[in-house]
Amino acid sequence: MTSLLIKNGFVFDPLNGVKGEKMDIAIENGKIVEKINEREAKIIDASGMIVMPGGVDIHSHIAGAKVNSGRLLRPEDHFKDVEPKTPITRSGVGYSIPSTFTTGYRYARMGYTTVMDPAMPPLKARHTHEEFNDTPIIDKAAYPLLGDCWFVLEYLKKNRIEECAAYVAWMLKATKGYAIKIVNPGGLEAWGFGRNVRNIDDPVPNFGITPREIIRGLCKVNKLLNLPHTIHVHTNNLGKPGNYINTLETMRCVEDLVENGKPAIHITHCQFSAFAGDDWRTFDSGAEAIAKYVNAHSHVTLDMGQIIFTETTTMTADGPFQFILYELSGNKWVNSDVETETSAGIVPFQYKRKSFVHAMQWSIAMELALLIQDPWKIFLTTDHPNAGPFTHYPRVISWLISRKAREKILERINRKAQRKSLVPTIDREYSLYEIAVITRAGQAKALGLKNKGHLGVGADADIAIYNLNPETLDLAQKPKTVRKAFERAAYTIKDGNITVKNGEVVSTPSGRTFWVNVEAPQAEIEISKKLQQKFGEYYTVKYENYPVPEHYLAIPASINVKAEVQ
């Protein structure tokens, strides 16, 4: 295992500017190195294949209390997608909410090696990490939901940014979290009282603070703490016609906080936040306006949230939105309120080709990906499992790479949506280099993961090799071949171990769990005294029992950052 040499592959490594050149990659002790002794190394012949860094997923609900409730809610999701055990892998089930082991195997089969769970209620952190411990192969991390936490709202109301920063630092440490996740800021708190916020300037009941103040406050906190990722925002009014105006406002509201043109905000599953029109009948795409804004500004990154026409399970922390979805679909549902922190909802959902709204949603996500010129600003996700299971990523790649594949889908969707869609007017086809950006390099860069998403010396040896020959194959004409290649990686190498060979899992090492350890000792001690008093008032658990200890994580990997707060 100690040394590996990948020979003659077409290497795509956007962070180091490598665009499909033939070169060798040497690996020693789980890291990429300059040179190794060829005679001692195991050699992988990758001639005629493409070599990319292991895939990175910035937003995918794979673990935690919500995901598990979804599994319980949907036995019918499982019985048709069963994976029997093999001498190497455990048995498990799919489809839209796969069991933990299956999640790890399926990501690895597609060449993905790092996955972020974007919605961890802080109180359920233990559960999330328990599931992480049982998710093999991939590295993972979770973003605690902090946008509606009472403590945060109170600090921000009094404009105590530094104290809020100390609290967030403590929270990241206590939950072993990675980034600040904000879901429908203010709306989840209002949902606890059966209400919602209407727009970015609508005050939150009982707190008198607006979503704008929450987003700006946490953006400042994020900067003070020097966190590797930006704030990760799920906008207000998600899933409602006309919400793209709100999304533009959200992106605009942190414009003045930007330093050196660095990203300051990540708008997640942007497709759901790019709806135009007044109601479902006049529903339209707001993708063009958003793409225009993003093209002109450098402080925003987005991910797609591409719709897949299939039956899936929607699950978000956005309780009020899930209630609307339940009323629309009449399906079974789960909704819950997590004490003072957040809410959550789950509704099974089927995206249909012939539905006008669903077809438009498909088109919106495609428009976003195709109209935003800079691939470093938009990432490929399906907001697994909300818009579709992650196993459909190869399909999305084939749509981006091939106009022909898009036209084939367009032929089969709702007529009215066909007429309204901008997709037929766009000629752009992604190159493999751009695909490498939106599926790994860009996401790793946005996440601030220094050793992921590239193949430079010193990077983690997470590598995906796909059986595609860009020299002999016209990719745009062969979307099916592209999809098949990305569905079953020829090799997935994780930390120097070959984990997948020809689409089959051959070894299952455990992956790391990243968490951000902010060094801000002084402020933290002060805050923890105040916290202890308030904990008794607000929580059903004791302050001492709340934090997740590091030994609880199977393979913890802390990322130390130095905060500007003291």
Give the nearer residue to another protein in terms of CB position, either 72 or 88.
72
Instruction: Lay out the site mask for another protein across 69-88 (x = CB under 8 A, - = otherwise).
Output: ----xxxxx-x---------
Number of shown-chain residues binding another protein (CB under 8 A): 8
Site residues for another protein, 18-37, by CB under 8 A, read none
CB of 332 to another protein, least distance (A): 8
Q: How far is the CB of 69 from another protein (least distance, A)?
A: 13
The residue among 78 and 212 lying less far from another protein, judged by its C-beta, is: 78
Q: Which CB sits closer to another protein, 79 or 193?
A: 79
The stretches of 24-81 forming alpha helices (DSSP H) are 65-73, 75-78
Q: 349 and 313 in contact (C-beta within 8 Å)?
A: yes
Part of the chain binding another protein (CB under 8 A), chosen from 67-75, 208-216, 318-326, 506-514? 67-75
Task: Show Cβ contacts of residue 441 under 8 Å, excluding neighbours closer than 6 positions.
Answer: 13, 14, 15, 53, 376, 453, 454
AA letter at 76: E
CB of 87 to another protein, least distance (A): 16
Contact segment (CB under 8 A) with another protein among 68-76, 95-103, 129-137, 540-548 equals 68-76
Q: How many CB atoms are located within 10 Å of the residue 332 CB?
A: 11
Q: Min. distance of Cβ 335 from another protein in angstroms?
A: 18
Q: Ramachandran region of residue 110, left (φ > 0), alpha (ψ -120 to 50) or beta?
A: alpha
Strand partners, 349: 312
Residues in region 303-342 near another protein by CB under 8 A: 331-332
Nearest to 180 by CA among 213, 203, 214, 204: 214
What is d(CA 72, CA 195) in angstroms, rounded to the nearest whole number?
A: 27
Of 71 and 269, nearer to another protein (C-beta) is 71
Closer to another protein by CB, 219 or 346: give it.
346
- Residue 79 or residue 280: which is nearer to another protein going by CB? 79
Shortest gap between Cβ of 84 and another protein (angstroms)?
A: 11
Q: How many CB atoms neighbour CB 86 within 10 A?
A: 12
Least distance in Å: CB of 74 to another protein?
6
Closest listed residue to residue 487, CA positions, set 393, 387, 384:
393
CA angle centred on 148, ends 143 and 149, rounded to 5°: 80
Q: Considering the complex, what minimum distance in angstroms separates the CB of residue 76 from another protein?
A: 4
Min. distance of Cβ 329 from another protein in angstroms?
A: 10
C-beta separation of 539 from 498 below 8 A: no
Distances (CA, A) of 13 to 49, 398, 461: 14, 20, 13
Nearer to another protein, 77 or 462 (CB): 77
Q: 94 or 147: whose CB is closer to another protein? A: 94
Interface residues with another protein (CB under 8 A) are 73-77, 79, 331-332
